[in-house]
Structure 1
Amino acid sequence: MPEVQSVITQVSAEQAPVPVMQETSQDFLDDDSLIHLNIQENHYYITRDQLMSLPESLLLCLFPSGVFMDRMGQVITNLTSQDEVYIGNFPPLCFEYIMENYVRAQEDLMNFPVDEIFDRGTSAREQSRFFGFSSPASANSMGGESEILHEKPSIIVLREDLDYYCVPQQKLAYAPDASQEMKNELLDNFMAETKLAAGSHLSAQTSVFQGLHSSNRLKRPQNDSSGTNATQKLGPAEQHLMDMLCSSGFNESSEWGNRAQEPGKTVISSLSLCRLANETTQEFRDKVDDAKRKHEEEAKNAHRNSELGAQNPLTPLGSRSSPSPAQQDKRKSRLSSLADNVRSRSASRHRSSSRQRIEQAPTLYELVPRPDINAKLLLFWKKPARKCWWGEQDTVLDLKLYGKIDTETGALLLLPSGPIVTVKVPVKLHVRRVWTLELSIVGVE
């Protein structure tokens, strides 16, 4: 089995990126801060600040040695825009997935700053009161770091590095005249096919939390005879981790955003970037717009009703015919005159209070509930945390090779040539998973 190389190297991370471009103008190419990335013969141009602003857990994957290297494996000491930084062991689709999420977060930071569009401070603008947050006293009572999770676009970075080892449960046989060298070659080919099939089988398991249920430390329920791990109850640590992630944007059915097997290795790398649902997201802005529109409609209706009430403060009772002016003057007494004055003053006060309520628009969190964000995520801000565990799976793989099943002994006869056949081989997979969790806050150094 090929040796698995470590992807953990200390690299510093800085602030958040701005859009990456695959094609750019010559003027931009002349900028000394520009970096030309060649990721498996896919070319990208990005500035140094854009690249180094990615979180540490992602930089470790792009640059395991912590330095820029050219195609020949030589360290680039004085990097310019004319140099080509070669990355041969990272999937291009994963890089594009990373930049797509960070570009969107950066655009939200630049185009929709929370402090400006929601006016957290005092302002003389017409709608400052409408977009105001809570009162200064309540705002000051909140922790400064916790408030960052409401002010800046934040991304939960969850990465899984999976190593697997195959133990076939199939008895093998060789032709009687096969030499030892031929037997070794046939065995190597058989194991290579087994590892490829196992990699395809594991890569198809795209559920994020499926791996938590496959830990060897979890005990299968006694009434579970199916041999699957899906019904296993999570331990306290695993359940706590899953609850924290699910309360921050993930859900139990979440799938990996990118999952790929490294060429020539029994290693599968997976990545999921989950945007924290706070005030910086388009979804929150849509909720605010809807709530604002609904409030304005209610205010207009209330104002219209108050105007109608001012025009007709008193309405006739029943269907009785109105008395003539002469009869009305005769019947009108001091008591009725006093009652009319009381009703008139009461209607005037009601209209005045209605206008005050209409003019006093609600604050932001009176319109839309304040997002409930798990403050424990700050423990992973600029501090990647890793969790490692082992698990095992029993599966049956379809292998295409030269050979056949001996019906008498049940052994798989490996042959050096002949027609290619598909055989089902039971395999026990020993899987080692390493999760890396980090919180990335865009726009904060």
Structure 2
Amino acid sequence: MAEPQSVITQVSADQGLPPVMQDQGQEFLDDDSLIHLNIQENHYYITRDQLMSLPESLLLCLFPSGVFMDRTGQVITNLTSQDEVYVGNFPPDCFEYIMESYVRAQEDLINFPVDEIFNRAQSSREPSRFFGFASPSAMAPSSSNSEAEILHEKPSIIVLREDLDYYCVPFQSLAFPEGASEELKSELTDNFIAQVKLAAGSYLSAQTSVFEGLFSSNRLKRPQKTASGETVSKLGPAEQHLMDMLCTSGFHDSSVWGNRAQEPGKTVISSLSLCRLLNETTQEFRDKADSARRSYEEKVESSRALSESPSLTPLMSRTSQGSTAAEVKRKSRLSSLADNVRSRSASRNRSSSRQNRDHTPTLYDLVPKPDINSKLLLFWKKPARKCWWGEEDLKLTLKLYGEIDSETGKLLLLPQGPIVTLEVSVKLHIRRVWTLELSVVGVE
């Protein structure tokens, strides 16, 4: 079976439109269903439905003004496949990360529908409850449309985005060459500050842990010491509640950002994590269900084979010649009583085994129902934002034209000449904005 083609197609700028893509076996009716995106000179073609199915928080990142614009900044009023939608302030690898996550969720929705793969028919007369969600009376159409059940039946993605702005305050005395003009001094100072910002950006970009930023809030309590003397930071109630909700929905303490990049020429670092909600639509749950089904079937087969095997009843030995008639009559009565007891016991065992075979378990009898935090519904189609400030003291290693005055400790900045490597003490003021949204694939 051939692997399904990706719905994103990257082509070079000088190529024409790609061949008409296949959408689950059906061709697009017209070329106007395609949108040509130019993201920092990386070209992609996707459909309108695929683009508009993205959550609001991501669409606003792609199109901050809320409209499609061409390369010159003009609004495209009547969009066709011949138009080029220009996106200049969004990393292309982040766009690919987004589309790959949503394509995978869309494939699970279409190829592995929950109601079908977990409700298989035994015969054409009556449907089976094997691996069903509930009893037939409980499977009313209205229940499947409830918001709580949607989180069990549809692929869902937790969209967590962080926008980080940082401000650098270096603690380094500067000196300039004798006779330097004010313009040169300003140029050398700006270059020094730019190097500090680049080094700080590299330092922050390397911090890929999702929850590391929560521990940097200025509102957190002072670090506490454990019994072993180790210093730990304790989250505030709001931060701890947020972290607990995310960790019970698919994130982990050690989760890292799926994409993290600094905007060129800016002290802004954007991070994104798309976490698939661990419900019945995931491959992990399907594997657990298949394993439970095989174990159940093996147990039923073993029980059936044991119940259908012939019972071994010992034969009565012939009476000895010396036995009296009364002894023979007494032994005959005891043997008959024992045979009746064994017969009733075997009948009960066969009846119990038959009842076990007739009772087919539901899905949740064999596999625990995923425990989904219902509070996630508060973020469905309703992005929520959290903002906080933090600060950090660190030393950054810089390489600059200049030299260090051994007596004063000042850095003499030069327009050219020898390169000096030094450590500069810097205080970083960091502003973080988290945007959290729940996206349910297949539900408009």
TM-score (norm 1): 0.87
User: What secondary structure, in the 3-state scheme, does the structure 2 residue paired with 1:26 have?
Assistant: coil
Is 1:382 the counterpart of 2:381? The answer is yes
Judge conservation of contact 1:120–1:133 (CA < 8 Å) in 2.
no
**1:324-364 per-position Cα deviation (integer Å, ceiling 9, x unaligned):** 38989955523432431332233123113212212322110
User: What secondary structure, in the 3-state scheme, does the structure 1 residue paired with 2:199 have?
Assistant: helix
Counterpart residue identity of residue 114, structure 2: V
- 1:241 paired residue number: 242
**1:150-204 per-position Cα deviation (integer Å, ceiling 9, x unaligned):** 1110000000000011110111111222111111010011011111111101000
Cα displacement (A) at 1:124 = 5.1
Query: Could you say if the C-alpha distance between residues 289 and 222 of structure 1 is closer, same or farther in structure 2, counting changes exceeding 3 Å?
Result: closer
Is 1:19 the counterpart of 2:20? The answer is no
Is 1:193 the counterpart of 2:159? The answer is no
Cα separation, 1, equivalents of 2:97 and 2:125: 39
Cα displacement (A) at 1:22 = 3.3
Cα separation, 2, equivalents of 1:207 and 1:279: 27
Cα RMSD over matched residues?
A: 2.7
Query: Could you say if the C-alpha distance between residues 423 and 168 of structure 1 is closer, same or farther in structure 2, counting changes exceeding 3 Å?
Result: same
Number of residue pairs aligned between Structure 1 and Structure 2: 417
- 1:232 paired residue number: 233
Structure 1 gaps, min length 5: 1-17, 317-321
Cα displacement (A) at 1:218 = 1.6
User: What secondary structure, in the 3-state scheme, does the structure 1 residue paired with 2:360 have?
Assistant: coil
User: What secondary structure, in the 3-state scheme, does the structure 1 residue paired with 2:273 have?
Assistant: strand
User: What secondary structure, in the 3-state scheme, does the structure 1 residue paired with 2:211 have?
Assistant: coil
- 2:270 paired residue number: 269
Judge conservation of contact 1:219–1:232 (CA < 8 Å) in 2.
yes
1:332-411 mapped onto 2 (5 Å cutoff) = 332-411=331-410
- 1:4 paired residue number: none
Judge conservation of contact 1:115–1:121 (CA < 8 Å) in 2.
no
Judge conservation of contact 1:313–1:344 (CA < 8 Å) in 2.
no
User: What secondary structure, in the 3-state scheme, does the structure 1 residue paired with 2:294 have?
Assistant: helix
1:110-259 mapped onto 2 (5 Å cutoff) = 110-119=110-119, 128-135=128-135, 144-221=146-223, 231-259=232-260
Cα separation, 2, equivalents of 1:149 and 1:121: 25
Cα displacement (A) at 1:134 = 2.4
| Higher alpha-carbon deviation: 209-218 or 331-340 | 331-340
Cα displacement (A) at 1:222 = 7.0
| Higher alpha-carbon deviation: 361-370 or 138-147 | 138-147
Counterpart residue identity of residue 245, structure 2: M
Cα separation, 2, equivalents of 1:384 and 1:315: 76
**1:292-312 per-position Cα deviation (integer Å, ceiling 9, x unaligned):** 11111111111111122xx12
Cα separation, 2, equivalents of 1:128 and 1:74: 59
User: What secondary structure, in the 3-state scheme, does the structure 2 residue paired with 1:429 have?
Assistant: strand
Counterpart residue identity of residue 202, structure 1: L
- 1:104 paired residue number: 104
| Higher alpha-carbon deviation: 156-165 or 343-352 | 343-352
Query: Could you say if the C-alpha distance between residues 283 and 418 of structure 1 is closer, same or farther in structure 2, counting changes exceeding 3 Å?
Result: same
Cα displacement (A) at 1:313 = 4.6
Cα separation, 1, equivalents of 2:196 and 2:271: 21
Judge conservation of contact 2:121–2:127 (CA < 8 Å) in 1.
no
Query: Could you say if the C-alpha distance between residues 64 and 349 of structure 1 is closer, same or farther in structure 2, counting changes exceeding 3 Å?
Result: same
- 2:25 paired residue number: none
Cα displacement (A) at 1:40 = 1.0
| Higher alpha-carbon deviation: 329-338 or 256-265 | 329-338
Cα separation, 1, equivalents of 2:232 and 2:422: 30
1:90-101 mapped onto 2 (5 Å cutoff) = 90-101=90-101
**1:259-317 per-position Cα deviation (integer Å, ceiling 9, x unaligned):** 00001111000000000000000000000000011111111111111122xx125357x
Counterpart residue identity of residue 32, structure 2: D
Cα separation, 2, equivalents of 1:405 and 1:126: 87
Cα separation, 2, equivalents of 1:336 and 1:231: 77
Structure 2 gaps, min length 5: 1-5, 12-16, 22-27
**1:57-96 per-position Cα deviation (integer Å, ceiling 9, x unaligned):** 0000000111111111111111111111111111111011
TM-score (norm 2): 0.88
- Identity across aligned pairs (percent)? 74
User: What secondary structure, in the 3-state scheme, does the structure 2 residue paired with 1:54 have?
Assistant: coil
Counterpart residue identity of residue 80, structure 1: T
Counterpart residue identity of residue 19, structure 2: Q
Counterpart residue identity of residue 275, structure 1: R
User: What secondary structure, in the 3-state scheme, does the structure 2 residue paired with 1:278 have?
Assistant: coil
Judge conservation of contact 1:130–1:364 (CA < 8 Å) in 2.
yes
1:36-75 mapped onto 2 (5 Å cutoff) = 36-75=36-75
User: What secondary structure, in the 3-state scheme, does the structure 2 residue paired with 1:86 have?
Assistant: strand
Judge conservation of contact 1:404–1:423 (CA < 8 Å) in 2.
no
Judge conservation of contact 1:382–1:438 (CA < 8 Å) in 2.
yes
Judge conservation of contact 2:166–2:431 (CA < 8 Å) in 1.
yes
Is 1:324 the counterpart of 2:318? The answer is yes
| Higher alpha-carbon deviation: 276-285 or 413-422 | 413-422
Judge conservation of contact 1:278–1:373 (CA < 8 Å) in 2.
yes
1:429-440 mapped onto 2 (5 Å cutoff) = 429-440=428-439
User: What secondary structure, in the 3-state scheme, does the structure 2 residue paired with 1:407 have?
Assistant: coil
Judge conservation of contact 1:313–1:347 (CA < 8 Å) in 2.
no
Judge conservation of contact 1:165–1:430 (CA < 8 Å) in 2.
yes
| Higher alpha-carbon deviation: 192-201 or 115-124 | 115-124
Cα displacement (A) at 1:422 = 1.8
Query: Could you say if the C-alpha distance between residues 106 and 242 of structure 1 is closer, same or farther in structure 2, counting changes exceeding 3 Å?
Result: same
